[in-house]
Structure 1
C-alpha cells in the first residue's frame, strides 16, 4: 500500500469512527427508555438453522443486556422438529398452523425443543457474552411451574353439512397460567442471566404439551409486563392492502386487517398474538424480520424502527 492509499484508508477509517460515535449519541435517549426494562424476544423461523445468523442474534442479545435491557428469549423449532420426524419416517400434519401431535411426536418435539435447540441458543449467548460474563440459561415451560396449559380445542365446519366438528390436535396446549417468579429472579440477580425458554408446558394432571412459541412469548410478555415484545419472523413486517409495510397500527386496526382479509396465512396468528399481548399489558409488540442483521437494535435504539409496531388504542 503506497502513501496515497494509506492516507485514503485512514480518512475512511476516521469517517467511520465519527459515524459510529454519532450513532451511539443518537441512541442515548432510547437506551434510557429501555434501561432495566424487560423485552421478550420470540426467536424462530428457518433462520434458526443458519449458524452465522444464530451467532449474530446471540451477539445482539448480549449487547441488549450490556445496554441495560433485560432480554428474555422464547424460541420455536418447527423446522428442526420436522427434520427429526422425517428422519424417523413420521409424517406431520397441521391444522390452522398447529402441528397435530401424537405421543411419539410429542416425545420428539420435547427432545428437540428443550434439548438441542434450547441449549444451542443458550450456548451461543454464553459464548457471545463470555468476556462480559453474560450467560444464557436454557429452560422450558416445565421448569419451576413456569407454564401451565390445557389441551387446545379446534373445530372445523364440514363443507357439505356445515356442521362443526372438533379436531383432535393431540398433545397441543394453550397457556392458562404463567408463573414468572423464576424469570424475575434471574433478571433481578446480580449475575447477567439471559433466560432462553422452550415452548413446552404442563397440564394440571402432569401431561406434557407442545405449545405454539408465539403464544408462549405473548403470555410470558404479559405476565412480565414487558416494555416490548419482538416477534422475529421471516418477513419485514405486516403489509397493507397496497402491499406496503405498515410501520405502526393499533389493536383495532390490526383486527380490521384480519377481518378484511388483508392479513392472511401465518400473519393472522402473529397479529392475534400481538393483540393479546398488548391487551395483557405489554406496551407494544413489533413484528420484524429476524434475518436482517441487527434488526432488534434498529427497532429499539433508532427513531426509524425495523418492522410493524402494534400498540393499544389512542
Structure 2
C-alpha cells in the first residue's frame, strides 16, 4: 500500500468516497479500469458532472480509469466493428462530448486527454523500444493521464466509422490489460441481467441468452459475453441511471450491479487458494455478490 494512501483518502471523502473504501483501493492501486458508458449520457449537466466527479475520484485515489462513451447515438450493444460511416455532424457531436468530459474531469485535478478509438488502438498496439508491453496507452496511464475515448475508428479504406463502445472498451481492457471493465447500462437491462451474477454468472448468461435471444437485454448480454470471450477477466454491469453506482460498485462492500467473470467457479476457487497460500493479489477484483 502506498504510504500516502490514507492521507489522500482523507482529502477525498468530500468527493463522495464511501467509508470502508481502503481495502478496495488497495487492490485498485495503479490498476487500469475501463469504464464504458453504453447508454446516452444524462441531459442534465449535474448528471454529467457527477459522472466526471466519480471518474476523477477513482484517478485521485490511485486507480487508472479509461473512459469510453457512446454519446447519444443509437449503438446496438452487440454491433460489430466497423460500424456505419461517421458523418461530420456525428464526429463533431462526439468530439464535443469528449471535450466536455475532459474539462469536467480536469476540474477535480486529474489530467484527462481526448482520444478517438483509432488513436487508442494505435497507442495500445505500438509500444516504443524500452516500454512495457501494454504500449503507449499504458505509459500515458502511468504518467497520470486519464484517457476519454470517443467511439470512432478508421477502416482499411481510410474512412472514419462509428464503432461499438462496448467492443472498443473490451478490446482496450484486454490489451492493457485492465483489472476490470465496468459497463454502465440501461436500468431495465441491468435489472434483467443482474440476477444472473455469481460465480457461474458467465454460464448463466449464456443459458439466459439461449432462451431469450430477442429480449430487450439480449444485445447487452451478447456484448458482455463477447468481452469475456475476447479475454476480459471481469465485467461489472451497473445501472447508468444511479448517480453513485460507479463508486458503490468499485469501492464498497455491497454490490449494486452484476459481476461476470471469465473464469469458472472452479478456477476462481483455485485462484483464491493460491492467494491465501502465496499472499498474492487475486486477478478478479473481488468475490461476486449474491443476488436473489
User: How has the CA–CA distance of structure 1 residues 238 and 203 changed in structure 2, closer, same or farther, with 3 Å as cutoff?
Assistant: same
The answer for unaligned runs of 5 or more in structure 1 is 1-16, 83-92, 148-176
Residue aligning to 1:119: 99
**Cα displacement (A) at 1:53:** 0.7
**Cα displacement (A) at 1:219:** 1.4
Provide the rounded CA distance (Å) in 1 between the counterparts of 2:69 and 2:234.
19
Give runs of aligned pairs for residues 212-223 of structure 1, distance below 5 A: 212-223=164-175
1:198-257 deviation digits (Å, cap 9, x = unpaired): 1111123322111111111111111112111111122162426xxx74443532211111
User: How has the CA–CA distance of structure 1 residues 252 and 49 changed in structure 2, closer, same or farther, with 3 Å as cutoff?
Assistant: same
1:245-272 deviation digits (Å, cap 9, x = unpaired): 444353221111110117722x223222
Checking the alignment, whether the CA contact within 8 Å between 2:35 and 2:183 is kept in structure 1 is yes
1:32-82 deviation digits (Å, cap 9, x = unpaired): 1111111100124233432101101111111101111100000001x3x57
Provide the rounded CA distance (Å) in 2 between the counterparts of 1:290 and 1:188.
28
The alignment partner of 2:101 has SS state of helix
Checking the alignment, whether the CA contact within 8 Å between 1:43 and 1:231 is kept in structure 2 is yes
| RMSD value, Cα | 3.2
Residue aligning to 2:273: none
**Cα displacement (A) at 1:282:** 2.3
Is residue 215 of structure 2 the alignment partner of residue 264 of structure 1? yes
Provide the rounded CA distance (Å) in 2 between the counterparts of 1:144 and 1:232.
20
Scaled by the length of structure 2, what TM-score is found? 0.72
Provide the rounded CA distance (Å) in 2 between the counterparts of 1:279 and 1:94.
18
- 1:143 is matched with which residue: 113, 119, 124? 119
Checking the alignment, whether the CA contact within 8 Å between 1:35 and 1:69 is kept in structure 2 is yes
Provide the rounded CA distance (Å) in 2 between the counterparts of 1:128 and 1:32.
21
Residue aligning to 2:33: 39
Provide the rounded CA distance (Å) in 1 between the counterparts of 2:161 and 2:84.
10
User: How has the CA–CA distance of structure 1 residues 24 and 121 changed in structure 2, closer, same or farther, with 3 Å as cutoff?
Assistant: closer
- 2:232 is matched with which residue: 282, 285, 289? 282
Residue aligning to 1:302: 252
The alignment partner of 1:49 has SS state of coil
The alignment partner of 2:66 has SS state of strand
Q: Which has the higher strand share?
A: 1
User: How has the CA–CA distance of structure 1 residues 184 and 310 changed in structure 2, closer, same or farther, with 3 Å as cutoff?
Assistant: same
- 2:241 is matched with which residue: 279, 291, 294? 291
Scaled by the length of structure 1, what TM-score is found? 0.67
User: How has the CA–CA distance of structure 1 residues 68 and 145 changed in structure 2, closer, same or farther, with 3 Å as cutoff?
Assistant: closer
The answer for unaligned runs of 5 or more in structure 2 is 1-9, 127-133, 266-292
User: How has the CA–CA distance of structure 1 residues 310 and 213 changed in structure 2, closer, same or farther, with 3 Å as cutoff?
Assistant: same
Checking the alignment, whether the CA contact within 8 Å between 1:233 and 1:290 is kept in structure 2 is yes
